[in-house]
Amino acid sequence: MKKYFLLTPGPTPVPPEVSSAEAQPILHHRTSEFGKIFVEVIEGMKYVFQTKNDVLMVTGSGTAAMEAAVVNLLSAGDEVIVASCGNFGDRWENICNAYGVKVHKIAVEWGQAINPKDIENLLKQNKNIKAVFTTHTETSTGIVNDIEAIGKIVKNTDAVLVVDTVSGLVNQKFLTDEWNVDVAVTGSQKGLMCPPGLSFATVSSKAWQLVEKSTLPKFYLDFKKMRKSIDNKETPFTPAVSLVVAIHKAIEIIKEKTLQKIWEDTEKLAKATRAAIKAMGLKIFCDEKHISNVVTPISMPEGIDGQKVVKTLREEFGVSIAGGQGKLRGKIVRIAHMGYIDKTDLVVGISFLEVVLKRFGVNIEIGSGTKAFQQVLEE
């Protein structure tokens, strides 16, 4: 049997306690037993999101919650801003386009962060903007955006701020209410340490006002139906019962450790990983002033195909890291430090990355990366 080390920025490994919760006998979803767990998950997610706003649960991956945000807030022809610095920022644009929403796009070069001033200027020029869509941690490039600064700008306008924190939540500080985020969306398979398949959205009272006016088509993803059924400790349709039980356990683990401690530990792992990459003579792909703690993007040296590196690591050593997406395919690889990924997994990943790159002809001293990694952890 092959042993796997999953170091991708989603899905991430699942702790054994969460897996065994998921494996419990199936509960019927219209019972008080399930209702209690479901309501505790909703309440627990308020802690994870740091919000007093409504939290809704969607059966579907992170993109389902993104699409739910678009269809519940808007009407055809509405004007919005999409501030994107990578593949997942662009996803907001693609969803809006699919529904006939008019997008004013702020596109930042991949590897750079969004400048909140650009959003401020566009909002000043166009008073019809209904919503600003952006990304907390842009998983495709490794950037973390300054959501707090963006929130300060958007809150003074009629527009709502919608943030994708699918890869950031739990491991990278995110304060929904303090940062004035009206709708935040996340998925189960990253910081939440669960299998893929569930997503969540927070909805502020400012956002609910838009929901009341929204006419885009929706049925399964209807926020109003979701909110109403929470009052009865239910979901509108059959939820992914086992995933809800799993996430209930994961939230318990997160609460026990506290978000503050998780943010600090993740930052340390991220620093150690960056040190390792530099000690190996490699370059970090993105602007390091705005680098996230959840994923390290590594530029491949000239002539090295990142996809081949990923394939060899996976097939020969059981180590899964991610390649580049879109225009970065082959040019970068990405190592995650989120959720249940820990220092032991990272030492294994870094050490075999050294081996594979050396085999491909890169001048790397075996042990240089892992040594730097250990040194930072011991500081």
Query: Which residues contact ligand PMP by CB under 6 A?
Result: 10, 61-63, 88, 135, 139, 164, 166-167, 187, 196
Sheet strands side by side (includes 102-107): 54-59, 198-203, 183-187, 160-164, 129-135, 79-84, 102-107
Looking at beta carbons, which residue is closest to ligand PMP?
Answer: 62
Q: How far is the CB of 80 from ligand PMP (least distance, A)?
A: 17
Shortest approach of ligand PMP to residue 191 CB, angstroms?
11
Instruction: Name the residue nearer to ligand PMP (CB basis): 338 or 347.
Output: 338
Q: What's the closest the beta carbon of residue 61 comes to ligand PMP, in angstroms?
A: 3
Minimum gap (Å) between residue 337 Cβ and ligand PMP: 14
- C-beta closer to ligand PMP: residue 137 or 370: 137
Residues 357/359/364/365 CA torsion (nearest 10 deg) = 130
Sign of CA dihedral 207, 209, 212, 215: negative
- Closest contact distance (angstroms) between CB of 37 and ligand PMP is 22
> What's the closest the beta carbon of residue 177 comes to ligand PMP, in angstroms?
21
- CB-nearer residue toward ligand PMP: 61 or 370: 61
Let me know: does 180 contact 155? Beta carbons within 8 Å. yes
- Residue 316: both structure tokens together: 């020969």
| 105 and 128 Cβ atoms separated by less than 8 Å | no
CA–CA separation, 80 and 123 (whole Å): 10
In angstroms, the CA 335 to CA 282 distance is 13
| Spatial separation of the C-alpha atoms in residues 82 and 91, rounded to whole Å | 9
Between 50 and 186, name the residue whose CB sits nearer to ligand PMP: 186
Distance, in Å, from the CA atom of 321 to the CA atom of 359, rounded to the nearest integer, reads 17
11 or 44: CB nearest ligand PMP? 11
Element at 147 (helix H, strand E): helix 147-154
Nearer Cβ to ligand PMP (141/370): 141
